[in-house]
Each structure stands twice: as structure tokens, then as C-alpha cells.
């Protein structure tokens, strides 16, 4: 198990749909949905040109897709309500995926004898991933014998926020090779994963490889030192 016997965990839950859509971000999504419906109905040709411009190599497919969308909007198959329902369902999926992986990894780590410090979340209320990434990052940075694991929808936001904490080298990982290399070559002390990107079993395999790997030292240690020295110049 190595010297790292304490694992600090953090995973974003978040409230679900009704809470999300009543939040500032949710209201922004609702406004964009309304604009989308209005644009398709009032300016179908302009909408078609925008799609074609974004998919030059798929022009015929883009034209067909726009036509299908326009028809569905006109006949009522696509409405503001159906789009918002889809947003609600997607939001709930992110919550369920994150919590499911979080609990699965937590239980397996406990079975392996690791001491777990669970930093949440512990409810379905809407939260910001940044807060949990910083909380975990600060605890890991303050100790030499702790590593952190962060999980959100993609792992991207968590990794960005965690890396703002001095002393943290957070790595976003979705494969076994990267899990090994980021520890051996970069001495990563926080592992970030995307609940919507990898399956539960892969998340556990990545966690095992990451925890079993140790920094190699030598030229790699010099590179890590350069990285951390540069961090100090930005304070």
C-alpha cells in the first residue's frame, strides 16, 4: 500500500433538475433554449448556415439535420419543455454517475485498508465543484502522507481548480498508462476522473494503478522541482 495510507476524497453531487434550473446557470440555460426555439422558427435559413459552417465536411448531413429539427419544432415535437426536460435528465445523470463512482471507489479503498477522509458532497443540493477541489487540495498540500481523489462529470473542472492550490499536482486520468505515468514522472498527488467518461470498473483500475505507482525520482524529480519552483514565483 506504500506510505500513502490516507486518501482524501471529494465528489460533486449537486441538486438536481429543479434546483439547477432555478439557479442562475439554470436560468441562463432556459433563456438559451427559448432563443434556440425562436431562431429555428423565425430564421431557419440562418440557422442552417450556422450549422453548415460548423460542419463543413458534413454539409449534406447538416442540411438534413436542420430540416429535421425545424420540422420537429414546427409540429411541436421539440418544444421548450422537451429541451428543458432533457437538461433536467442530463443533470440528474451527472449527479448519479458521480455519486455512484465515488461510493464504489470509497468502499473498495476501505476494503484495501486505506484511511478515507470524505470531503463530500453529502446532499443533493447544488454545489460548485471548485469548492470541493480546493478543500481536498488544501488538505493534501498540507501533508506529505496524503493523496487526493476528485470526481465530477468530466474531471476537467476539478483538475483545473485543484491545480490552483499551491503544492498540488492534479492529473486528469482516463486510462491505465496515464495513471502510472502521472505518478512516476510527475509525482501527481491528486487524481481526477470523469464520472461520465469512464465506467466504474475502469475508475477502480485507474485508482489501483495510480496508488501503486511511485515517483521515480532522478530526472523526473528535477522536472517536478522546476514546476514547483515556478509556482512559487507566481505568489
Indicate which CATH number applies to the domain containing 126: 3.40.1400.10
The reply to whether 152 belongs to the active site is yes
Counted residue by residue, the chain has a size of 235
Query: Domain range spanning residue 68?
Result: 18-88
For residues 104 and 172, state if they share a domain: yes
In this prediction, what percent of the chain has a pLDDT beyond 90? 35
Choosing from 53, 130, 152, 192, the catalytic residue is 152
For residues 80 and 107, state if they share a domain: no
The phi-psi region of residue 7 (left if phi > 0; otherwise alpha if psi is between -120 and 50; otherwise beta) is beta
Output the nine-digit C-alpha cell for 178. Answer: 496515464
- Quickly state the pLDDT bin for 6 (edges 50, 70, 90): low
For residues 150 and 182, state if they share a domain: yes
Residue 180 neighbours by CB distance under 10 Å? 16
pTM: predicted TM-score of the whole model, two decimal places: 0.62
Instruction: Please check the confidence at residue 99 and state whether its pLDDT lies above 70.
Output: no
Choosing from 53, 130, 185, 192, the catalytic residue is 185
The reply to whether 185 belongs to the active site is yes
What pLDDT, in 10s, does the model give residues 149-196? 998 889 999 999 999 999 999 999 999 999 999 999 999 999 999 988
The span from the CA of 167 to the CA of 137, in Å, is 8
Q: Tell me, what DSSP letter sits at residue 152?
A: E
The span from the CA of 192 to the CA of 55, in Å, is 32
Domain contains 23 = yes
pLDDT at position 3 is 45
Q: Name the domain boundary from 31, 58, 88.
A: 88
Please give the mean pLDDT across all residues of the chain: 76
Q: How many domains does the chain have?
A: 2
Domain contains 24 = yes
Amino acid at each position: 500500500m506504500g506510505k500513502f495510507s490516507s486518501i482524501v476524497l471529494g465528489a460533486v453531487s449537486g441538486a438536481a433538475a429543479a434546483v439547477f434550473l432555478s439557479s442562475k446557470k439554470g436560468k441562463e440555460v432556459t433563456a438559451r433554449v427559448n432563443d434556440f426555439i425562436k431562431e429555428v422558427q423565425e430564421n431557419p435559413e440562418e440557422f442552417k448556415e450556422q450549422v453548415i459552417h460548423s460542419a463543413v465536411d458534413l454539409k449534406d448531413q447538416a442540411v438534413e439535420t436542420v430540416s429535421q429539427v425545424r420540422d420537429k419544432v414546427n409540429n411541436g415535437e421539440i418544444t421548450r419543455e422537451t429541451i428543458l426536460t432533457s437538461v433536467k435528465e442530463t443533470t440528474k445523470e451527472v449527479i448519479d454517475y458521480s455519486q455512484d463512482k465515488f461510493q464504489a471507489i470509497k468502499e473498495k479503498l476501505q476494503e484495501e485498508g486505506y484511511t478515507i477522509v470524505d470531503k463530500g458532497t453529502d446532499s443533493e443540493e447544488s454545489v460548485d465543484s471548485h469548492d470541493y477541489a480546493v478543500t481536498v487540495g488544501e488538505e493534501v498540500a498540507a501533508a506529505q502522507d496524503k493523496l487526493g481523489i476528485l470526481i465530477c462529470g468530466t474531471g476537467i473542472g476539478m483538475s483545473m481548480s485543484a491545480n490552483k492550490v499551491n503544492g498540488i499536482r492534479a492529473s486528469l486520468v482516463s486510462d491505465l498508462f496515464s495513471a502510472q505515468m502521472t505518478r512516476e514522472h510527475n509525482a501527481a498527488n491528486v487524481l481526477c476522473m470523469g464520472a461520465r467518461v469512464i465506467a466504474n470498473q475502469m475508475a477502480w483500475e485507474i485508482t489501483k494503478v495510480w496508488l501503486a505507482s511511485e515517483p521515480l525520482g532522478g530526472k523526473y524529480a528535477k522536472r517536478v522541482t522546476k514546476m514547483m519552483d515556478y509556482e512559487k514565483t507566481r505568489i
